[in-house]
Every structure is written in C-alpha cells, then in structure tokens.
Chain A
Amino acid sequence: MTALVRIPTVLRPAMGGDTSVTVEGSTVGEILDHLTAEHPAVKGQLLNSDGTLHRFLNVYVNDDDVRYLGGVDAPVTNGDEITLLPAVAGGTL
C-alpha cells in the first residue's frame, strides 16, 4: 500500500522541507516506521519508545483521527492520505 503523508510545518525542517511524501505501509505504524527510518531526528516527536503514538501528535487517515481506528494498528489502503498535526494544548498548570 502507498499513502500520501502530509507533513506539518513544524516538522518540515527536520524532514527535508517537503510538504508531503509518499510512504509505503499497510498500517499507520508501518507508515510511521518507514518515515522515521528515513528521518530519525523526528522519531521522538511521532512515536513513544514502545512504538505507540506520541501523546501530542494527531494522526489522521483521510478525515479520521486514528485514535478511534486502533492507533498505530489502523489500516491504510492504497491512496489514503495521512495527515500529521501536532496537538494543540496547554493551560495554567
């Protein structure tokens, strides 16, 4: 399977500057593994050391947040669009 991965602005400098890249994989986890193998500098921003999704990263397959699709096990089919967006959070604590 091949998916188009859209790279957020804040990660582009560490990933060669591309706005999107084509990556092979049949799950979100495989896609992110391939992406981080190519760009190891961003691995800590995408994945935890146990391979789960980083708490402050939102990953979407087309229009759906993968947290509701099985996380890194979420299936990817040919032509899917994967969007990565850093979570937006904060507070007074």
Chain B
Amino acid sequence: MLTLHSVHRDAIVATCIRALPNEGCGLLLGTSDGTVTDVLASPNVADSAKLYEIDSRILLRAHRQSEAEGSSVLGVFHSHTHSQAFPSPTDVAQAPDPSWHYVLVSLRESPSTIRSFLIVDGEITEEEVTS
C-alpha cells in the first residue's frame, strides 16, 4: 500500500502537467511503511513524450537526502500522456528495484488518474493508493 497525501499527489500531477507534451517524472521519498513524505521532481532527460529518464543529479540528491533524514527512496513516478496508468513493457524491463513503488499518472483523462504498482521479476502487482 502507498500512502500519498494530497500535497504530494498534487505535486506529482503538477510535475507531469508541466512536462507536457513530454512525460513527467520524479522520485518519491518516504518511510518504509510506504508513506510518501517528499516528492522530488526531475527533468525528463529523455526529453520525450514516450520515454522518461530521471536526471542523474536528482537521483543522487534523493539518495543523499534520504540518508541524511533517515527516510528511503520509495520509488518513482512518471506520466503516460495518452495511455492508461499501467506499466508498459519498457517500464517493466527497466524497473531497477523490486522494493520500489512505481507510480503511474495518466493524463489521458481529466481528472488525471494515479495508480501504484510493484514490479518484481517482471511481474506487475497493483497496490492500493490511500491518502
């Protein structure tokens, strides 16, 4: 289960809308029970409407910040601009960490939808997102 308070949900959606027409992305920091405590927006260095890549400097900052404050890098969010909020084969193939929460935002409809998934050995499991 991922706990996402409205301030963090709004930050995720705002990041994704600002990135249009490209995919938006960023990292989630939080506690080991899956509660998000901070959202680090990242430039999409893939500069693409169909691909995303987190800026390596944001990735390092997330790890350093989590160590300093005793939190964890919980996962990553990114948007699908014209498709559903479900991991694509590319998302699954490149999912680096089986402990991470992979948050997908679909901007296809309004309001946007947010869903969260665990991806372990290529297997996708949706989890509940609570506020």
- Interface of A with B (CB < 8 Å)? 9-10, 56, 58, 60, 63, 65, 67, 83, 85-93
Contact = CB atoms under 8 A, between A and B. Distances in A.
Interface stretch (B8-16, B30-38, B94-102, B123-131): B94-102
Contacts, number: 77
Which 7 interchain pairs have the tightest Cβ spacing? Answer: A91-B51, A90-B91, A89-B53, A86-B96, A88-B54, A58-B56, A65-B56
B88 A92 contact: yes
Nearest to A67: B56
A87 B48 contact: no
A9 B52 contact: no
16 contacts: A10-B96, A85-B59, A86-B97, A87-B53, A87-B54, A87-B56, A87-B59, A87-B96, A88-B25, A88-B96, A89-B51, A90-B51, A90-B91, A92-B88, A92-B90, A93-B50
A56 B94 contact: yes
Most chain B CB within a 10 A radius of its CB, from A9, A58, A67, A92: A92
A60 B61 CA distance: 11
A93 B51 contact: yes
Interface of B: 23, 25, 27, 46, 48, 50-54, 56-57, 59-60, 63, 76, 78, 80-83, 87-88, 90-91, 94-99
Given A87-B54, A90-B91, A91-B51, A63 B60 contact: yes
A41 to B, nearest CB: 16
Contacts of A90: 51-52, 78, 87-88, 90-91, 94-95
A87 B57 CA distance: 11
Contacts of B27: 88
Contacts of A89: 46, 51-54, 94
A64 to B, nearest CB: 9
B107 to A, nearest CB: 12
Contacts of B51: 89-93
Given A65-B57, A87-B56, A93 B90 contact: yes
Nearest to B78: A90
A85 B23 contact: no
